[in-house]
Amino acid sequence: MILAVLIAALTFVLSGALHYVIVSGAIRHLGAASYHQGRKLVAALCVSGIAHIAVIGLYTLAYWAGRAAGIGDLSGDATATSMDMFYFSLVTYTSLGLGDIVPTGHLRLIAGIEALNGFLLISCSAAMLFLFMRDQHAADGS
């Protein structure tokens, strides 16, 4: 159980930092760019999506590490492949929870933390994009 807590805590902290560095850096760069406002928004949305995919990949590594350490597994119709772990992480991060693949053992703790983290980081992206659009609108003098 302690190993699952450590993996979950480390992944939570690293994913928050990764998301912040990617999204805030892009927004800072885009704010200074001379692109059309629409292009800036599309670029910010794409970068936000990339940040979320990176975090999902980080959680995929956490499931792999937990599985390798023997603290749990992902159960489904067959042995979980790397793609299954990524898919499960995507479904958990977005809080879809389809249930076709489920964690067993202490990987359940990591899945719960990932769902919470996904909700928080998706909300952070929405807030950062809102502030970015507000600032762009104000800078245009509209």
Per-residue pLDDT tens over the stretch 72-92: 999 866 678 999 999 999 999
Name, in order, each residue with C-beta under 8 angstroms of 140's C-beta and a sequence gap of 6 or more.
Answer: 37
User: What pLDDT was estimated at residue 125?
Assistant: 95
User: What pLDDT was estimated at residue 140?
Assistant: 72
In contact, 51 and 125? CB cutoff 8 Å: yes
Q: Is 81 helix (H, G, I), strand (E, B) or coil?
A: coil
Q: Check which CATH number belongs to the domain holding 126 and give it.
A: 1.10.287.70
Which amino acid is present at 81?
T
Angle, CA 139 vertex, CA 136 and CA 140 arms, to 5°: 90
User: What pLDDT was estimated at residue 42?
Assistant: 92
In contact, 91 and 97? CB cutoff 8 Å: yes
In order along its 142 residues, the chain shows pLDDT tens digits of 999 999 999 999 999 999 999 999 998 898 888 888 889 889 999 999 999 999 999 999 999 999 999 999 998 666 789 999 999 999 999 999 888 999 999 999 999 999 999 999 999 999 999 998 888 878 776 5
What is the C-alpha separation between 21 and 60, in angstroms, rounded?
Answer: 20
What is the C-alpha separation between 47 and 20, in angstroms, rounded?
Answer: 11
In contact, 22 and 127? CB cutoff 8 Å: no
Residue 7 structure tokens: 């993996």
User: What pLDDT was estimated at residue 79?
Assistant: 75
What's the structural domain count of the chain?
1
Element (H, E) at 45: helix 37-68
User: What pLDDT was estimated at residue 49?
Assistant: 96
Owning domain of residue 16: 2-139
Element (H, E) at 49: helix 37-68
